[in-house]
Amino acid sequence: MYEAINGVYKILCPIHEANRDFKKLASVHGKLQDAFNKVYNQRMFGTYFRVGFYGCRFGDLDEQEFVYKEPSITKLAEISHRLEEFYSERFGDEVVVIIKDSNPVDKNKLDPNKAYLQITYVEPFFDTYELKERITYFDKNYNLRTFMYCTPFTLDGRAHGDLHEQYKRKAILTTSHAFPYIKTRINVIHKEEIILMPMEVAIEDMQKKTQELAFATHQDPADSKMLQMVLQGCVGTTVNQGPLEVAQVFLSEIPEDPKLFRHHNKLRLCFKDFTKRCEDALRKNKSLIGPDQKEYHRELERNYTKLREALFPLINRKIPQLYRPLPLKEIFHRALM
């Protein structure tokens, strides 16, 4: 809450100034300096988990979901062990069962004599318009009511499959109050699920890789090890289901379904942005390395050149239907709208 201190002292300072209370003014400005230093430095906020309760043994909690706020270094295994231990003391060791996945729970398949807990790591979720206002690290960790988690799946029931088979279920949770709150758990009052098709999953993955590249490139102070690790993951020749394979699977052919034209074009543009970010990252890495890493950098450049040449025909293949000129009648109609 260091960000709120300045606003409070803006009210108090004129009072101390009017009273000529310089001792208190000195104390206030000292506290402001400490607060601003804390704001400037990276701080550890909370980590969030969704906990679902299933089974009549939980009483009113049956089929209820909560978002728990934990210290930022808390791992999924830690909170799972703690809750399992807590409810085992209450119901018995043989009664409490932890559901290991994040798939939708079918109550008909559960043992009515047992108490089930489903624990999933969740992240704060922001709409695009919110990100324009939530600029700082504090903004993105304060007044949080919406959280998200993703579950990969395939149509035949497996969690993971080939790229063209990989779907993703995004669950967006809304809590009754915002974190931080006086309680460390808040109940979920609304849940929305969105199913992403394989091409949409590929778009999200490429956007994430591009964002990681941009972050590693512009990080201040620069971290050459992190930059090289991200670069290796993007242009390395041994990367399974890497960018080249994604492009070959989804961009080799124009989709037959017109509904996929926009997704195809969006993925193509994602790859253009991705290759530009790779160039920026290589340029940054070249300025950071010492003489002992020059050969490694040349290898990264060779791998990038091969990747760019392989991607070129794929990302420059446009769908004619998206770029044909509009009829004059339609242009006139849109102008009137």
Instruction: For the chain, give the percent of residues with pLDDT over 90.
Output: 59
Please tell me the least confidently modeled range out of 3-12, 82-91, 282-291. Answer: 3-12
328: in domain = no
Residue 138 confidence (pLDDT): 81
Domain check: are 54 and 115 in the same one?
yes
- Does residue 83 share a domain with residue 22? no
Q: What tokens appear for 132 in the block?
A: 């324009």
pLDDT digits (tens, 9 = 90+) for 49-61: 999 999 999 999 9
Q: How far apart are CA 228 and CA 281, in angstroms?
A: 9
Same domain, 14 and 111: no
Are 206 and 190 in the same domain? no
Q: How many domains does the chain have?
A: 3
Residue 91: closest CA among 55, 57, 56: 57
Distance from C-alpha of 240 to C-alpha of 259, rounded to nearest angstrom: 28
Secondary structure class of 236 (helix, strand, coil): coil
Q: Would you state the pLDDT for residue 212? A: 93
Write out the H or E segment, with its range, that includes residue 96. strand 96-99
- Asked if pLDDT for residue 219 goes beyond 80, the answer is yes
CA–CA distance, 44 with 71 (Å, rounded to integer): 8
**Residue 55, SS3 per DSSP:** coil
Final residue of a structural domain among 144, 162, 196: 196
Whether residue 180 is preceded by a cis peptide bond, meaning omega within 30 degrees of 0, is yes
Burial class (CB in 10 A: 0-12, 13-18, 19+), 18: exposed
d(CA 263, CA 242): 19
Same domain, 69 and 129: yes
- Claim to verify: residue 286 and residue 250 sit in the same structural domain: yes
332 in a structural domain: no
Same domain for 217 and 184, yes or no, is no
Q: Are 263 and 207 in contact (CB under 8 A)?
A: no
Count of CB atoms situated within 10 Å of the CB of 11: 8
Q: Which two tokens stand for residue 329?
A: 């009648």
> What gap in Å lies between CA 268 and CA 315, rounded to an integer?
5
* Average pLDDT of span 20-47: 83
Whole-Å CA distances, 188 to 61, 115, 145, 301: 12, 19, 9, 48
**In the 8-state DSSP scheme, what is residue 223?**
-
Q: What is the pLDDT of residue 328?
A: 54
Q: Are residues 167 and 260 in the same domain?
A: no
Mean pLDDT over 125-141 rounds to 86
What CATH code is carried by the domain that includes residue 312?
A: 1.20.58.740
φ/ψ (deg, to 5) at 330: -70, -35
Are 50 and 192 members of one domain?
Answer: yes
Assess if residue 330 is contained within a domain: no
64 and 176 assigned to the same domain: yes
Residues 168-186 pLDDT 10s = 999 999 999 999 999 999 9
Please indicate, yes or no, if residue 240 is contained in any of the structural domains. Answer: yes
- How far from the centroid of its chain's Cα atoms is residue 232's Cα? 21
Are residues 97 and 26 part of one domain?
Answer: no
Both 136 and 236 in one domain: the answer is no
Last residue of a domain, one of 196, 222, 239: 196
Structure tokens at 156: 């035949």
Q: How far is CA 26 from CA 15, 29, 33, 98, 263, in A?
A: 13, 5, 11, 55, 59
Three-state DSSP class for residue 201 = helix
**Phi, psi of 261, deg, nearest 5:** -60, -45
Domain range for 28: 2-40
Q: Residue 301's closest CA among 215, 228, 247? A: 228
Identify the domain boundary among 151, 169, 196.
196
For residue 217, what pLDDT is reported?
A: 92
Q: How confident is the model at residue 239 (pLDDT cuts 50, 70, 90)?
A: low
Q: How much is the pLDDT for 116? A: 95
**What is the DSSP annotation of 8-30?**
HHHHHHHHHHHTT-HHHHHHHHH
Q: Confirm whether 336 is domain-assigned.
A: no
Q: Does the pLDDT at position 304 exceed 70?
A: yes
Residue 298 clears pLDDT 80, i.e. is over it: yes
